[in-house]
Amino acid sequence: MEVLVDSGVLLRAFDRSSSDRRSILRALRLLRDQGHSFVTTHQNIAEFWNVATRPASARGGFGLSPIEAERRLATIEGLGRLLPFNQHCYSAWRQLLVKVSECRFRASAH
């Protein structure tokens, strides 16, 4: 069975300070061991990126650089299948997202 992994699960799985992290990682391992596969959506990816690259001083932000957020995004993409709407659009959107975020990150660092 395919299991939808929501942005809240994705975010807490990467947040070492989250009290839910261990339970989430354990549940994901258990589901995978039972033969389930994971899916996520473009919306979940967008929500993850928003929080991951939001400044740590802002509500709930992780303050990650675009490069680190992209690494984590690659890990998420490797967990399972992205439910399609149009892969070409997603690829173009993802490239733009990284470039715009890199520009914003550099601008805020100065």
**Structural domains in the chain plus CATH codes:** 2-109 (3.40.50)
Question: What is the pLDDT, as a whole number, of residue 88?
Answer: 77
Question: What is the pLDDT, as a whole number, of residue 109?
Answer: 77
Return phi, psi of residue 2, to 5°.
-85, 140
pLDDT in tens, the chain (110 residues): 999 999 999 999 999 999 999 999 999 999 999 999 999 988 899 999 999 999 999 988 999 999 999 999 999 999 999 987 777 777 877 887 888 888 888 888 77
Angle formed by the axes of helices 66-79 and 42-53, nearest 10°: 150
Contact (Cβ atoms closer than 8 angstroms) between residue 76 and residue 36: no
Q: Measured between alpha carbons, how far is 68 from 89 in angstroms, rounded to an integer?
A: 23
Model confidence pLDDT, tens digit, residues 34-55 = 999 999 988 899 999 999 999 9
Question: What is the pLDDT, as a whole number, of residue 92?
Answer: 75
Residues 6+ apart with CB under 8 A from 76: 10, 40, 45, 48
Does pTM surpass 0.85? Answer: no
Distances (CA, A) of 32 to 1, 2, 26, 39, 44: 10, 10, 10, 12, 20
Q: Helices (DSSP H) in the chain: which residue ranges?
A: 7-14, 21-33, 42-53, 66-79, 87-109
